[in-house]
Chains A and B, each alone.
Chain A
Amino acid sequence: MKKFIKQILLFLLPIVLISFYADNYISTNLKKSNSFAVKEYSTWNAIIDGQINSKIVIYGSSRAWVHINPKMIGDALNVSTYNLGIDGHNFWLQYLRHSLLLENNTNPQIIIFSLDVFTLQKVKDLYNSDQFLPYMLWNDKIRNATISYNGFKSIDYEIPLIRYFGRQNAIQTAFLVKKTNNEVERIKGYQGQDRQWNLDFDKAKKTMKNYERELDSSSIVLFEHFLNECKSKKIKLLFVYSPEYIEGQKFVKNRGVIISLYEKYSKKYDIPFYNYSNDPLSYQKKYFYNASHLNKTGAELFTKKLIDSLKKYYYPMPISEKNKHIVQRK
C-alpha cells in the first residue's frame, strides 16, 4: 500500500507543478486576445491593471458598450472617459466592474449609467463565461459576483487549471494569440457597430407575444447599495436611458413600471435621469441594427446629444482641490 501511495504522489507531483505554470501561461496569453470572449479582455485588463483612471466612466450592458462613444465625449469635454459597458450582463456583473474599478483605479468623478429594461434582471446562466477565465483564480470579488450563476464551480476559483478543462477554444486562443491578427477593436471600451437593420425583430414580431421582465430582488438591493456607495464617495451619477426602437418598446409589458422605478431612484438620490425613449432617434429604423441596439451612425448621433446634456455637469476647466470630485453647474 505504501508503494502504491508513493507512486501515486510521485505521478501527481509533476501534474501539480505544471498546473501552476500552465495556468499562468494560458491566463497571461488569453488576456492578450482582443478577439476572444466578445472582445471583453481589453476592458477587463484596463480595469484590473489600473489603466482606466478616467474622470467619466460609462456603465451598463451592451447598450452602453455600443451606444456611447467615450472618445467623442473626451474630445468634446476635454476629459478622460472610458466605456465599461459589458455585453449580455445585468447590474449584478456591471457592479463587479464597478467594484474592481474602484479597487484598482482612482475614483471617477461622473458615472453615466446606461439603464435598460434588463438592468435589474438576473439570468441563470453565466453568459460569455470565458471572459472571467484569466482573472478568476483566487479572486474573491469575481467569485462572489459569478458563483450564483450556472457557469463555474467553487473548485474552479481555487485550483489552478481546473477551470480550463475542456475549454478548447480558450486554450487554442492562448497558444495562438501571438500568431493571429490581434488588433484592439474597442476604443476605450466602446465598439460602434457598423451594421444594418437585421430581420431578427421582424421575425420576432410575427412569432413573439409581449412579455414581462422579472426584476431580481437581490439586484435591486445591490443597486441601492451602489447608489448609496456613489453618494458616500461623492461620485456624481447620471441615469441615461438610451434610444430604443419605438416598436420594440411595446414588447415589454412592464416597461413603464421599470422606468417608474428608475424615476423613483432618480428622485430619491437626486440623480438626473435622461430618458431618450421618445427621442426622434428611437423612431428611425436606419439608426438601429436591432430593436435594442443603435448602429454606429445612431450611436454617434446619440453620443452628440448626450454630450450636450453632459455639458451641464462637466466643464473643461481647472478645478479647485476642494471640489475636485464634482464640477457641476447649477
Chain B
Amino acid sequence: MLFNSINFAIFLPIVFILYWFVTNKSLKYQNILLLVSSYFFYACWDWRFLFLLVFSTVLDYCAGIKISDSKNQKVKNFWFWLSISINLGFLGFFKYYNFFVESFAEAISNLGLQVNPWTLKVILPVGISFYTFHGLSYVIDIYKDRIKAEKDFIDYSVFVSFFPLLVAGPIERATHLLPQIKKKREFNYINAVDGLRQILWGLFKKIVIADNCAQFANTIFNNSGDYSGSTLMLGAIFFAFQIYGDFSGYSDIAIGTARLFGIDLLRNFAFPYFSRDIAEFWRRWHISLSSWFRDYLYFPLGGSKGGTWMKIRNILIIFLVSGFWHGANWTFIFWGFLNALYIMPSIIFKTNRNNLDIVAKGKVLPSLKELFSMGFTFGLTVFAWIFFRSNNLTQAWITITKIFSTNFLIYPEFDGDDSMKPKILLILIFIVIEWLGRENQHAIANLELKFPKFIRWIIYYVIILGLFYYGGKEQQFIYFQF
C-alpha cells in the first residue's frame, strides 16, 4: 500500500477513527490496533514476507531478553551474535546474494576462467533494510547496556513494525520510540493539524515534484546516449529533485501520519540542498541513516578520536557501507566513495562543524558567499547523483564525459515531452517555498503563524489541486527498493 494511493487514503482514516474512538480507553488495545494495522499495511505488498518480518521481530525480541537477563557473558555473546548474524544474513541473502555471485564470476572470468554463476530470482522484501536496522540497533543497545530489553512483545513489535516507518524509515531508535509506545498518548490538536499539513506537503513533494522530475530524469538517463551534455546535466538536476522530493516527501508523510497517532518520529531531512558544505549536507540528508551509521559504525570504529589515518579509514568505511546499503551495485559504492572524498578535507582540517546553524537565519535572502557555497555543494551532490542514478559505472562515465565536453554548450533539448519549461518553473517555486520554510520542521509548518485561516485553507486547496492535476500515477517510492 503506497502512501500516495487511494487505498492508503481509505486505510488511514479507518485506523485513525478506531485508534481514537474505539481503542482509546486502553493503551494495550491501541498498540494491538497499531500492530494489526501495520501487518495489514505490510501484507498489502506481499503477505509472504510478513513471516520474515515476524520472524525477525521474534528473534530480536528473544535475543534482547536473553542478553538483558543473563549474567553469563557467553550467553550474552551467543544471543548477540546470533541476532546480528541472522539479521545480516537475511539482509545479505535477499539484497546482495546475486551481486556477490555475479561479481565473483566476473572476477574469475577476468582471470581467464569460466564459471556459471548460480544466481537466484530473489525478490527483495520491501522495508527489509529498514526494519533490520531497527532490530540491530535495539540488540546492540541492549548488549552495550544502554537500554533494558522490552518484555512486552506487542510493544516491541509496534516499535519494529509501526506502519508509517515500516517500509522506508525514518530508522528509529528504541530509546526514542519505545517510551512513546509504552506511554498513554493524548490527542493533541495542534500536533495533529500540523501532522496533516506535513502529510499534504509530503504528498506535494512526491506527486508534484518527484514524479514530474522522474518523467524527465528517467527518459534522459535511460537514453543517455541520445542526449547532449547540457541535457544530461539537466537530467541529473531533475534526478536530484526527484530523489529529494521522493524520499523527503515519503518521510514527511510518515512523520505526519505518526503525529496523527500522537507519536513523534525522528526527523529525516532538514532542507539538505541549502547546505553550505558536504558535511552539513550529510547532517541534513537521510538523518536517521547517517546518525545510525555514526552511532553503530563510526563511533565503534574509533570515530575521530584516533589519528588522521584512522579518521580517513573510518570515514571511508562508513560511506562505502552507506553506498552498499543502498543497493547491490558498484554505482552505489562509487557514490559512497565519492561522498567520502568530498567530506574528507573537512574532516582532516576539522572544518566539518563550521556550518551547524541554519543558513541565513532570520533573513529573507542569503549572502553572496552563502549562495555560492550552497550552489557549489549542490553541484557536487548532483555530480555524485549521476553515479547513483546510472545503471552501471560505464553509463555514469559516458554521461560525465559528455557533460564535461563541448557537448555541454549545446542548448538542452528534450523530445520526450514539450512541457519541461513549466515544470522547471514548478521546481523554482518549490525551491522558494522550501527556502522560506527552512527554519521549520517542514516547509509549510509556519503557515499557522503567518496567515489567517482563510488564506491557509486556500493554500491547502491549491496544493490539493496540484495533487489532483499531477496525481494518479501511484509511482513507487525510490527508497522502497533499498
A7 neighbours in B (Cβ, 8 Å): 193
Known: A1-B20, A4-B193, A11-B460. A171 touches B469 (CB 8 A): yes
Q: B441-470 vs A: 1/0 string, CB under 8 Å?
A: 000000000000000010011001000111
Would B187 and A1 count as touching, CB distance under 8 A? yes
Would B464 and A15 count as touching, CB distance under 8 A? yes
A95 at the interface (CB under 8 A from B): no
Would A3 and B472 count as touching, CB distance under 8 A? no
B169 at the interface (CB under 8 A from A): no
Chain A, interface size: which category?
A: 10 to 19
B460 neighbours in A (Cβ, 8 Å): 11
Known: A3-B189, A4-B193, A153-B6. A166 touches B470 (CB 8 A): yes
Instruction: Provide the main secondary structure of the chain A interface.
Output: helix
CB distance from B322 to the nearest CB of A (A): 34
A317 at the interface (CB under 8 A from B): no
Nearest residue (CB) in A for B464 is A15
Neighbour of A4 across the interface among B6, B187, B464, B473, CB < 8 A: B187
A17 at the interface (CB under 8 A from B): no
Neighbour of A167 across the interface among B189, B193, B472, CB < 8 A: B472
B189 neighbours in A (Cβ, 8 Å): 1, 3-4
Nearest residue (CB) in B for A159 is B6
B192 at the interface (CB under 8 A from A): yes
CB distance from B468 to the nearest CB of A (A): 6
A161 neighbours in B (Cβ, 8 Å): 468
B323 at the interface (CB under 8 A from A): no
Would A166 and B187 count as touching, CB distance under 8 A? no
Would A4 and B470 count as touching, CB distance under 8 A? no
Could you tell me which residues of chain B, from 183 to 236, have a CB within 8 Å of some CB in chain A? 187, 189, 192-193
A164 at the interface (CB under 8 A from B): yes
B471 at the interface (CB under 8 A from A): yes
Cα–Cα distance between A167 and B468 once the two chains are bound (Å): 9
A14 neighbours in B (Cβ, 8 Å): 461
Would A164 and B468 count as touching, CB distance under 8 A? yes
B468 neighbours in A (Cβ, 8 Å): 161, 164-166
CB distance from A230 to the nearest CB of B (A): 39
Q: A154-169 vs B: 1/0 string, CB under 8 Å?
A: 0100000110111110
Nearest residue (CB) in B for A154 is B6
B464 neighbours in A (Cβ, 8 Å): 15
Nearest residue (CB) in B for A168 is B469
Q: Which residues of B does A touch, CB under 8 Å?
A: 6, 20, 187, 189, 192-193, 457, 460-461, 464, 468-473
Q: Which residues of A does B touch, CB under 8 Å?
A: 1, 3-4, 7, 11, 14-15, 153, 155, 161-162, 164-168, 171
Q: List 17 A-B contacts (CB under 8 A).
A: A1-B20, A4-B189, A4-B192, A4-B193, A11-B457, A11-B460, A15-B461, A153-B6, A164-B468, A164-B472, A165-B468, A166-B468, A166-B470, A166-B471, A167-B472, A168-B469, A168-B470
Known pairs A15-B461, A162-B6. 7 more at Cβ < 8 A?
A: A4-B189, A4-B192, A14-B461, A164-B468, A165-B468, A166-B470, A168-B470
